[in-house]
Structure 1
Amino acid sequence: MSFEEFQDKWTDQLRKIVDQLTATLARPKSADDNRQLRHLVDKVVTHYTDYYDEKTAVGRSDVLLLFAAPWASALERSLHWVAGFRPTTIFHLMYTESSIRFESHVADILRGRRTGDLGELNPAQLGRVSELQCQTVKEENEIGDALGGWQEAVARAEPEWAGGRPDAVERLLERLVEVVAKADELRMKTMRLVVEMLTPQQAAEFIVAMAELQFGIRAWGLHHDRERGAGKVCC
Protein backbone atom coordinates (compact mmCIF):
# COMPACT_ATOMS: atom_id res chain seq x y z
CA MET A 1 0.00 0.00 0.00
CA SER A 2 1.37 3.42 -0.96
CA PHE A 3 1.36 6.24 1.56
CA GLU A 4 -1.31 8.03 -0.49
CA GLU A 5 -3.57 4.97 -0.24
CA PHE A 6 -2.82 4.71 3.47
CA GLN A 7 -3.68 8.37 3.99
CA ASP A 8 -6.99 8.08 2.13
CA LYS A 9 -7.98 5.07 4.23
CA TRP A 10 -6.74 6.78 7.40
CA THR A 11 -8.76 9.92 6.63
CA ASP A 12 -11.92 7.89 6.04
CA GLN A 13 -11.47 6.24 9.43
CA LEU A 14 -10.89 9.62 11.07
CA ARG A 15 -14.15 10.92 9.57
CA LYS A 16 -16.05 8.00 11.10
CA ILE A 17 -14.65 8.66 14.57
CA VAL A 18 -15.32 12.40 14.26
CA ASP A 19 -18.91 11.64 13.22
CA GLN A 20 -19.29 9.57 16.39
CA LEU A 21 -17.86 12.41 18.47
CA THR A 22 -20.22 14.92 16.85
CA ALA A 23 -23.26 12.70 17.46
CA THR A 24 -22.30 12.17 21.11
CA LEU A 25 -21.76 15.90 21.65
CA ALA A 26 -25.19 16.67 20.17
CA ARG A 27 -27.17 14.71 22.72
CA PRO A 28 -27.82 15.61 26.38
CA LYS A 29 -24.79 15.01 28.58
CA SER A 30 -24.47 12.16 31.04
CA ALA A 31 -21.69 10.38 32.88
CA ASP A 32 -21.79 7.64 30.27
CA ASP A 33 -21.45 10.20 27.50
CA ASN A 34 -18.37 11.69 29.16
CA ARG A 35 -16.79 8.25 29.27
CA GLN A 36 -17.73 7.69 25.63
CA LEU A 37 -16.29 11.08 24.64
CA ARG A 38 -13.01 10.35 26.39
CA HIS A 39 -12.86 6.92 24.75
CA LEU A 40 -13.39 8.44 21.29
CA VAL A 41 -10.87 11.22 21.93
CA ASP A 42 -8.28 8.64 22.97
CA LYS A 43 -9.15 6.69 19.83
CA VAL A 44 -8.41 9.76 17.68
CA VAL A 45 -5.08 10.34 19.44
CA THR A 46 -4.13 6.70 18.81
CA HIS A 47 -5.25 7.12 15.20
CA TYR A 48 -2.87 10.07 14.75
CA THR A 49 -0.10 8.04 16.38
CA ASP A 50 -0.63 5.35 13.76
CA TYR A 51 -0.38 8.02 11.06
CA TYR A 52 2.96 9.28 12.31
CA ASP A 53 4.29 5.73 12.72
CA GLU A 54 3.51 5.08 9.06
CA LYS A 55 4.96 8.44 8.05
CA THR A 56 8.16 7.67 9.95
CA ALA A 57 8.52 4.43 8.01
CA VAL A 58 8.14 6.33 4.73
CA GLY A 59 10.68 8.91 5.86
CA ARG A 60 13.28 6.27 6.64
CA SER A 61 13.05 4.90 3.09
CA ASP A 62 12.66 8.25 1.28
CA VAL A 63 12.62 11.36 3.46
CA LEU A 64 12.60 13.72 0.46
CA LEU A 65 9.25 12.23 -0.56
CA LEU A 66 7.75 13.66 2.63
CA PHE A 67 8.75 17.15 1.55
CA ALA A 68 7.48 16.67 -2.00
CA ALA A 69 4.23 15.21 -0.58
CA PRO A 70 2.66 14.25 -3.94
CA TRP A 71 -0.43 13.01 -2.05
CA ALA A 72 -1.17 16.55 -0.79
CA SER A 73 -2.79 19.47 -2.59
CA ALA A 74 -0.80 22.58 -3.47
CA LEU A 75 -2.60 24.42 -0.67
CA GLU A 76 -1.67 21.77 1.88
CA ARG A 77 1.97 21.82 0.79
CA SER A 78 2.03 25.62 1.05
CA LEU A 79 1.03 25.30 4.72
CA HIS A 80 3.58 22.64 5.60
CA TRP A 81 6.31 23.23 8.15
CA VAL A 82 9.02 20.52 8.16
CA ALA A 83 6.80 18.12 6.18
CA GLY A 84 3.65 18.67 8.24
CA PHE A 85 1.54 21.18 10.13
CA ARG A 86 3.13 23.65 12.50
CA PRO A 87 2.48 22.49 16.11
CA THR A 88 1.59 25.97 17.38
CA THR A 89 -1.36 25.95 14.96
CA ILE A 90 -3.07 23.86 17.64
CA PHE A 91 -3.07 26.81 20.04
CA HIS A 92 -4.36 29.28 17.48
CA LEU A 93 -7.20 26.89 16.69
CA MET A 94 -8.08 26.32 20.33
CA TYR A 95 -8.09 30.03 21.21
CA THR A 96 -10.22 30.80 18.15
CA GLU A 97 -12.71 28.02 18.91
CA SER A 98 -12.85 29.03 22.57
CA SER A 99 -13.54 32.69 21.70
CA ILE A 100 -16.28 31.79 19.23
CA ARG A 101 -18.04 29.55 21.75
CA PHE A 102 -17.67 32.09 24.56
CA GLU A 103 -19.17 34.87 22.47
CA SER A 104 -22.03 32.65 21.30
CA HIS A 105 -23.37 32.12 24.82
CA VAL A 106 -21.97 35.01 26.84
CA ALA A 107 -25.52 35.95 27.89
CA ASP A 108 -26.05 32.50 29.39
CA ILE A 109 -22.74 32.76 31.25
CA LEU A 110 -23.78 36.10 32.73
CA ARG A 111 -26.98 34.43 33.96
CA GLY A 112 -24.93 31.72 35.64
CA ARG A 113 -25.72 29.01 33.11
CA ARG A 114 -22.81 26.76 32.23
CA THR A 115 -22.26 24.56 29.22
CA GLY A 116 -18.80 23.24 30.11
CA ASP A 117 -17.59 23.68 26.54
CA LEU A 118 -14.38 25.17 25.13
CA GLY A 119 -15.79 28.65 25.74
CA GLU A 120 -15.46 28.02 29.48
CA LEU A 121 -11.77 27.27 29.93
CA ASN A 122 -10.89 27.95 33.56
CA PRO A 123 -7.87 29.99 34.72
CA ALA A 124 -5.86 26.88 35.55
CA GLN A 125 -6.44 25.45 32.08
CA LEU A 126 -5.54 28.74 30.41
CA GLY A 127 -2.36 28.93 32.46
CA ARG A 128 -1.28 25.41 31.48
CA VAL A 129 -2.10 26.04 27.83
CA SER A 130 -0.06 29.26 27.86
CA GLU A 131 2.94 27.48 29.41
CA LEU A 132 2.71 24.68 26.86
CA GLN A 133 2.46 27.18 24.02
CA CYS A 134 5.66 28.91 25.14
CA GLN A 135 7.48 25.58 25.39
CA THR A 136 6.19 24.52 21.97
CA VAL A 137 7.37 27.75 20.37
CA LYS A 138 10.81 27.14 21.88
CA GLU A 139 10.96 23.60 20.50
CA GLU A 140 9.65 24.74 17.11
CA ASN A 141 12.49 27.27 16.91
CA GLU A 142 15.04 24.60 17.81
CA ILE A 143 13.75 22.33 15.05
CA GLY A 144 13.75 25.24 12.61
CA ASP A 145 17.36 25.94 13.52
CA ALA A 146 18.19 22.26 13.00
CA LEU A 147 16.63 22.36 9.53
CA GLY A 148 18.54 25.55 8.75
CA GLY A 149 21.75 23.87 9.88
CA TRP A 150 20.99 20.92 7.62
CA GLN A 151 20.48 23.23 4.64
CA GLU A 152 23.82 24.91 5.34
CA ALA A 153 25.48 21.49 5.54
CA VAL A 154 24.01 20.60 2.15
CA ALA A 155 25.47 23.78 0.66
CA ARG A 156 28.90 23.04 2.13
CA ALA A 157 28.76 19.46 0.85
CA GLU A 158 27.81 20.41 -2.70
CA PRO A 159 31.25 19.41 -4.12
CA GLU A 160 30.84 15.96 -2.56
CA TRP A 161 27.38 15.59 -4.07
CA ALA A 162 28.73 16.57 -7.49
CA GLY A 163 31.67 14.22 -7.04
CA GLY A 164 29.41 11.23 -6.52
CA ARG A 165 30.00 10.65 -2.79
CA PRO A 166 27.01 8.47 -1.81
CA ASP A 167 28.24 8.19 1.79
CA ALA A 168 28.09 11.99 2.22
CA VAL A 169 24.62 12.10 0.73
CA GLU A 170 23.45 9.29 2.99
CA ARG A 171 24.69 11.04 6.12
CA LEU A 172 22.89 14.25 5.17
CA LEU A 173 19.66 12.40 4.49
CA GLU A 174 19.92 10.63 7.85
CA ARG A 175 20.19 14.04 9.53
CA LEU A 176 17.07 15.19 7.69
CA VAL A 177 15.18 12.09 8.84
CA GLU A 178 16.04 13.04 12.42
CA VAL A 179 14.77 16.61 11.94
CA VAL A 180 11.43 15.42 10.52
CA ALA A 181 11.09 12.85 13.31
CA LYS A 182 11.55 15.58 15.94
CA ALA A 183 8.94 17.74 14.19
CA ASP A 184 6.44 14.88 14.08
CA GLU A 185 7.15 14.05 17.72
CA LEU A 186 6.42 17.67 18.67
CA ARG A 187 3.20 17.67 16.65
CA MET A 188 1.98 14.54 18.39
CA LYS A 189 3.14 15.59 21.85
CA THR A 190 1.45 18.97 21.58
CA MET A 191 -1.86 17.45 20.55
CA ARG A 192 -1.73 14.86 23.33
CA LEU A 193 -0.88 17.36 26.07
CA VAL A 194 -3.57 19.82 25.00
CA VAL A 195 -6.20 17.08 25.01
CA GLU A 196 -5.11 15.96 28.49
CA MET A 197 -5.68 19.49 29.83
CA LEU A 198 -9.31 19.54 28.71
CA THR A 199 -12.48 17.94 30.02
CA PRO A 200 -13.95 15.12 27.87
CA GLN A 201 -16.45 17.54 26.30
CA GLN A 202 -13.85 20.21 25.62
CA ALA A 203 -11.38 17.67 24.23
CA ALA A 204 -14.06 16.27 21.93
CA GLU A 205 -14.96 19.76 20.68
CA PHE A 206 -11.30 20.53 20.06
CA ILE A 207 -10.71 17.27 18.17
CA VAL A 208 -13.78 17.89 15.99
CA ALA A 209 -12.64 21.45 15.22
CA MET A 210 -9.12 20.25 14.39
CA ALA A 211 -10.39 17.48 12.11
CA GLU A 212 -12.89 19.74 10.36
CA LEU A 213 -10.13 22.26 9.67
CA GLN A 214 -8.00 19.47 8.23
CA PHE A 215 -10.88 18.17 6.11
CA GLY A 216 -11.76 21.67 4.92
CA ILE A 217 -8.24 22.59 3.87
CA ARG A 218 -7.86 19.32 1.99
CA ALA A 219 -11.22 19.63 0.21
CA TRP A 220 -10.59 23.24 -0.79
CA GLY A 221 -7.05 22.44 -1.92
CA LEU A 222 -8.11 19.47 -4.06
CA HIS A 223 -10.92 21.53 -5.58
CA HIS A 224 -8.48 24.32 -6.42
CA ASP A 225 -6.06 21.83 -8.00
CA ARG A 226 -8.85 20.39 -10.14
CA GLU A 227 -9.96 23.84 -11.23
CA ARG A 228 -6.41 24.81 -12.07
CA GLY A 229 -5.90 21.57 -14.00
CA ALA A 230 -9.13 22.06 -15.95
CA GLY A 231 -7.98 25.53 -16.93
CA LYS A 232 -4.79 24.31 -18.62
CA VAL A 233 -4.74 24.37 -22.41
CA CYS A 234 -2.96 21.57 -24.19
CA CYS A 235 -0.85 22.50 -27.21
Structure 2
Amino acid sequence: MTSSFTDFFESWFDQLHHLVHQLSCTPKPPTTPDHHRDLLNVVHKVMSHYVEYYNVKSLAAQRDPLDFFAAPWASTLERSLHWIAGWRPTTVFHLVYSESSILFESHIVDILRGFSTGDLGDLSPTQFRRVSELQCETVKEENAITDELSEWQDSASELVNGCADLNEKIERLAEVLREADDLRLKTLRRVVDLLTPQQAVDFLIAAAELQFGVRGWGVNHDRRRGDV
Protein backbone atom coordinates (compact mmCIF):
# COMPACT_ATOMS: atom_id res chain seq x y z
CA MET A 1 0.00 0.00 0.00
CA THR A 2 2.88 2.34 0.80
CA SER A 3 4.24 2.40 -2.73
CA SER A 4 0.79 2.85 -4.31
CA PHE A 5 -0.13 5.80 -2.10
CA THR A 6 3.35 7.29 -2.56
CA ASP A 7 2.84 7.14 -6.33
CA PHE A 8 -0.58 8.74 -5.96
CA PHE A 9 0.77 11.47 -3.69
CA GLU A 10 3.61 12.37 -6.04
CA SER A 11 1.22 12.56 -8.99
CA TRP A 12 -1.29 14.55 -6.92
CA PHE A 13 1.45 16.94 -5.75
CA ASP A 14 2.65 17.52 -9.32
CA GLN A 15 -0.91 18.29 -10.38
CA LEU A 16 -1.20 20.77 -7.52
CA HIS A 17 1.71 22.69 -9.04
CA HIS A 18 -0.20 22.93 -12.34
CA LEU A 19 -3.35 24.09 -10.58
CA VAL A 20 -1.47 26.78 -8.67
CA HIS A 21 -0.09 28.02 -11.98
CA GLN A 22 -3.69 28.31 -13.19
CA LEU A 23 -4.59 30.20 -10.03
CA SER A 24 -1.71 32.59 -10.60
CA CYS A 25 -2.83 33.25 -14.17
CA THR A 26 -6.39 34.23 -13.29
CA PRO A 27 -7.32 37.90 -13.86
CA LYS A 28 -6.98 39.94 -10.67
CA PRO A 29 -8.99 41.94 -10.02
CA PRO A 30 -11.79 40.37 -12.08
CA THR A 31 -13.49 43.05 -14.17
CA THR A 32 -15.96 41.06 -16.31
CA PRO A 33 -18.47 38.24 -15.74
CA ASP A 34 -16.11 35.93 -17.63
CA HIS A 35 -13.31 36.82 -15.23
CA HIS A 36 -15.51 35.96 -12.25
CA ARG A 37 -16.44 32.63 -13.83
CA ASP A 38 -12.78 31.88 -14.47
CA LEU A 39 -11.94 32.53 -10.81
CA LEU A 40 -14.81 30.37 -9.57
CA ASN A 41 -13.91 27.53 -11.95
CA VAL A 42 -10.27 27.35 -10.95
CA VAL A 43 -11.11 27.60 -7.23
CA HIS A 44 -13.55 24.72 -7.72
CA LYS A 45 -10.86 22.68 -9.51
CA VAL A 46 -8.40 23.18 -6.67
CA MET A 47 -10.95 22.29 -4.00
CA SER A 48 -11.93 19.17 -5.96
CA HIS A 49 -8.25 18.26 -6.06
CA TYR A 50 -8.08 18.40 -2.25
CA VAL A 51 -11.28 16.35 -1.98
CA GLU A 52 -9.72 13.69 -4.21
CA TYR A 53 -6.66 13.55 -1.95
CA TYR A 54 -8.68 12.97 1.18
CA ASN A 55 -10.95 10.41 -0.50
CA VAL A 56 -7.97 8.34 -1.62
CA LYS A 57 -6.24 8.79 1.72
CA SER A 58 -9.37 7.69 3.61
CA LEU A 59 -9.67 4.47 1.65
CA ALA A 60 -5.98 3.67 2.09
CA ALA A 61 -5.99 4.55 5.80
CA GLN A 62 -8.84 2.14 6.47
CA ARG A 63 -6.48 -0.65 5.49
CA ASP A 64 -3.39 0.61 7.32
CA PRO A 65 -3.64 3.81 9.39
CA LEU A 66 -0.21 3.23 10.95
CA ASP A 67 1.38 3.77 7.56
CA PHE A 68 0.04 7.33 7.50
CA PHE A 69 1.57 8.16 10.84
CA ALA A 70 4.92 6.92 9.52
CA ALA A 71 4.27 8.76 6.20
CA PRO A 72 7.30 7.45 4.25
CA TRP A 73 6.36 9.72 1.31
CA ALA A 74 6.95 12.83 3.48
CA SER A 75 10.26 14.43 4.46
CA THR A 76 11.40 14.37 8.08
CA LEU A 77 10.57 18.08 8.34
CA GLU A 78 7.02 17.49 7.12
CA ARG A 79 6.55 14.63 9.57
CA SER A 80 7.83 16.80 12.43
CA LEU A 81 5.07 19.33 11.65
CA HIS A 82 2.28 16.77 11.40
CA TRP A 83 -0.74 16.70 13.67
CA ILE A 84 -2.39 13.28 13.43
CA ALA A 85 -0.80 12.43 10.08
CA GLY A 86 -1.36 15.78 8.39
CA TRP A 87 -1.37 19.54 8.76
CA ARG A 88 -2.97 21.13 11.81
CA PRO A 89 -6.35 22.68 10.81
CA THR A 90 -5.79 25.89 12.77
CA THR A 91 -2.78 26.57 10.53
CA VAL A 92 -5.32 27.84 8.00
CA PHE A 93 -6.24 30.80 10.20
CA HIS A 94 -2.64 31.78 10.87
CA LEU A 95 -2.12 31.78 7.12
CA VAL A 96 -5.17 33.98 6.50
CA TYR A 97 -4.06 36.51 9.13
CA SER A 98 -0.43 36.63 7.94
CA GLU A 99 -1.30 36.94 4.24
CA SER A 100 -3.96 39.56 5.00
CA SER A 101 -1.44 41.57 7.01
CA ILE A 102 1.24 41.36 4.31
CA LEU A 103 -1.13 42.44 1.54
CA PHE A 104 -2.70 45.16 3.68
CA GLU A 105 0.72 46.71 4.36
CA SER A 106 1.68 46.52 0.68
CA HIS A 107 -1.54 48.35 -0.33
CA ILE A 108 -1.81 50.68 2.66
CA VAL A 109 -1.58 53.86 0.57
CA ASP A 110 -4.36 52.77 -1.80
CA ILE A 111 -6.54 51.60 1.10
CA LEU A 112 -6.13 54.90 2.94
CA ARG A 113 -7.18 56.68 -0.23
CA GLY A 114 -10.39 54.63 -0.24
CA PHE A 115 -9.49 52.26 -3.07
CA SER A 116 -10.62 48.66 -2.70
CA THR A 117 -8.00 46.07 -3.63
CA GLY A 118 -10.38 43.11 -3.36
CA ASP A 119 -7.64 40.75 -2.22
CA LEU A 120 -6.89 39.16 1.17
CA GLY A 121 -5.57 42.48 2.39
CA ASP A 122 -9.06 43.88 1.96
CA LEU A 123 -11.06 41.59 4.27
CA SER A 124 -14.22 43.19 5.60
CA PRO A 125 -15.03 43.45 9.33
CA THR A 126 -17.69 40.78 8.81
CA GLN A 127 -15.14 38.46 7.23
CA PHE A 128 -12.66 39.03 10.05
CA ARG A 129 -15.37 38.28 12.60
CA ARG A 130 -16.35 35.10 10.79
CA VAL A 131 -12.70 33.98 10.53
CA SER A 132 -12.32 34.52 14.27
CA GLU A 133 -15.49 32.53 14.99
CA LEU A 134 -14.37 29.68 12.77
CA GLN A 135 -10.97 29.67 14.44
CA CYS A 136 -12.57 29.25 17.88
CA GLU A 137 -14.81 26.46 16.62
CA THR A 138 -11.89 24.70 14.94
CA VAL A 139 -9.70 24.93 18.04
CA LYS A 140 -12.41 23.15 20.06
CA GLU A 141 -12.81 20.40 17.46
CA GLU A 142 -9.05 20.05 17.10
CA ASN A 143 -8.60 19.71 20.87
CA ALA A 144 -11.36 17.09 21.07
CA ILE A 145 -9.66 14.94 18.42
CA THR A 146 -6.29 15.39 20.16
CA ASP A 147 -7.90 14.10 23.35
CA GLU A 148 -9.18 11.05 21.45
CA LEU A 149 -5.68 10.28 20.21
CA SER A 150 -4.29 10.73 23.73
CA GLU A 151 -6.83 8.22 25.06
CA TRP A 152 -5.80 5.78 22.34
CA GLN A 153 -2.13 6.23 23.23
CA ASP A 154 -2.80 5.90 26.97
CA SER A 155 -4.36 2.49 26.37
CA ALA A 156 -1.23 1.16 24.64
CA SER A 157 -0.42 -0.92 27.74
CA GLU A 158 -3.50 -3.01 26.96
CA LEU A 159 -1.82 -4.14 23.76
CA VAL A 160 1.42 -5.00 25.53
CA ASN A 161 -0.43 -6.99 28.17
CA GLY A 162 -2.56 -8.76 25.59
CA CYS A 163 -5.74 -7.30 27.06
CA ALA A 164 -7.01 -5.67 23.89
CA ASP A 165 -7.96 -6.75 20.40
CA LEU A 166 -5.29 -5.42 18.02
CA ASN A 167 -7.63 -5.10 15.07
CA GLU A 168 -10.13 -3.19 17.16
CA LYS A 169 -7.42 -0.80 18.35
CA ILE A 170 -6.19 -0.19 14.80
CA GLU A 171 -9.75 0.45 13.64
CA ARG A 172 -10.13 3.05 16.38
CA LEU A 173 -6.92 4.75 15.27
CA ALA A 174 -8.22 4.81 11.70
CA GLU A 175 -11.37 6.53 12.98
CA VAL A 176 -9.33 9.20 14.78
CA LEU A 177 -7.35 9.82 11.59
CA ARG A 178 -10.58 10.06 9.58
CA GLU A 179 -11.96 12.66 12.01
CA ALA A 180 -8.73 14.67 11.73
CA ASP A 181 -8.83 14.61 7.92
CA ASP A 182 -12.52 15.53 7.91
CA LEU A 183 -11.70 18.56 10.06
CA ARG A 184 -8.82 19.54 7.77
CA LEU A 185 -11.05 19.49 4.68
CA LYS A 186 -14.00 21.11 6.46
CA THR A 187 -11.80 23.96 7.70
CA LEU A 188 -10.41 24.54 4.23
CA ARG A 189 -13.91 24.64 2.75
CA ARG A 190 -15.26 26.96 5.44
CA VAL A 191 -12.52 29.51 4.91
CA VAL A 192 -12.77 29.42 1.11
CA ASP A 193 -16.57 29.82 1.34
CA LEU A 194 -16.35 33.03 3.38
CA LEU A 195 -13.87 34.62 0.96
CA THR A 196 -14.61 36.28 -2.36
CA PRO A 197 -13.37 34.35 -5.44
CA GLN A 198 -10.35 36.68 -5.74
CA GLN A 199 -9.52 36.28 -2.05
CA ALA A 200 -9.96 32.51 -2.32
CA VAL A 201 -7.43 32.45 -5.16
CA ASP A 202 -4.95 34.42 -3.03
CA PHE A 203 -5.50 32.09 -0.08
CA LEU A 204 -5.17 28.85 -2.06
CA ILE A 205 -1.96 30.08 -3.71
CA ALA A 206 -0.51 30.98 -0.30
CA ALA A 207 -1.54 27.62 1.19
CA ALA A 208 0.00 25.66 -1.67
CA GLU A 209 3.20 27.73 -1.68
CA LEU A 210 3.60 27.04 2.04
CA GLN A 211 3.25 23.33 1.32
CA PHE A 212 5.69 23.55 -1.59
CA GLY A 213 8.21 25.45 0.52
CA VAL A 214 8.09 23.08 3.49
CA ARG A 215 8.34 20.02 1.27
CA GLY A 216 11.15 21.45 -0.84
CA TRP A 217 13.20 22.48 2.19
CA GLY A 218 12.54 19.15 3.88
CA VAL A 219 13.51 17.04 0.88
CA ASN A 220 16.73 19.02 0.37
CA HIS A 221 17.57 18.68 4.05
CA ASP A 222 17.04 14.91 3.96
CA ARG A 223 19.25 14.63 0.89
CA ARG A 224 22.07 16.48 2.64
CA ARG A 225 21.70 14.11 5.59
CA GLY A 226 21.70 11.12 3.25
CA ASP A 227 18.15 10.08 4.17
CA VAL A 228 16.89 10.13 0.57
The bucket for the TM-score relative to the shorter chain is: over 0.9
**CA-based RMSD:** 1.6
Output the CA distance in 2 between the equivalents of 1:27 and 1:145. 43
Unpaired runs of at least 5, structure 1: none
Output the CA distance in 1 between the equivalents of 2:98 and 2:33. 28
TM-score of the pair, normalised by structure 1: 0.92
* 1:111 equivalent in structure 2: 113
* 1:199 equivalent in structure 2: 196
Amino acid aligned to 1:204: V
* 1:172 equivalent in structure 2: 169
**Residue from 185, 188, 196 that aligns with 1:188:** 185
Equivalent positions of 1:78-117 (< 5 A) are: 78-117=80-119
* 2:155 equivalent in structure 1: 153
Amino acid aligned to 1:145: D
* 2:23 equivalent in structure 1: 21
> How many equivalent residue pairs?
226
TM-score of the pair, normalised by structure 2: 0.95
* 2:77 equivalent in structure 1: 75
Output the CA distance in 2 between the equivalents of 1:27 and 1:91. 23
Task: Work out the percentage of aligned pairs sharing the same amino acid.
Answer: 55
- Residues 23-50 of structure 1: CA distance to partner in whole angstroms, max 9, x if unpaired? 1145764321121111111111111011
CA contact (8 A) 1:82 1:183 kept: yes
CA contact (8 A) 2:30 2:36 kept: no
Output the CA distance in 2 between the equivalents of 1:3 and 1:183. 19
3-state SS of 2:25 partner: helix
CA contact (8 A) 1:154 1:172 kept: no
Larger radius of gyration: 1
Output the CA distance in 1 between the equivalents of 2:33 and 2:106. 25
- Residues 124-180 of structure 1: CA distance to partner in whole angstroms, max 9, x if unpaired? 11111111100000000000000000011222332117xxx7xx1001000000000
- Residues 83-137 of structure 1: CA distance to partner in whole angstroms, max 9, x if unpaired? 0000000000010000000000101111111110000100111111111100000
- Residues 37-75 of structure 1: CA distance to partner in whole angstroms, max 9, x if unpaired? 111111111110110111111111111000000000000
Is the alpha carbon distance of 1:29 and 1:18 closer, same or farther for their aligned partners in structure 2, counting shifts above 3 Å?
Answer: farther
* 2:123 equivalent in structure 1: 121
Q: Return structure 1 stretches of 4+ with deviation > 3 angstroms.
A: 25-29
Output the CA distance in 2 between the equivalents of 1:53 and 1:25. 31
Output the CA distance in 1 between the equivalents of 2:26 and 2:59. 34
3-state SS of 1:14 partner: helix
**Residue from 130, 139, 142 that aligns with 1:140:** 142
Unpaired runs of at least 5, structure 2: none
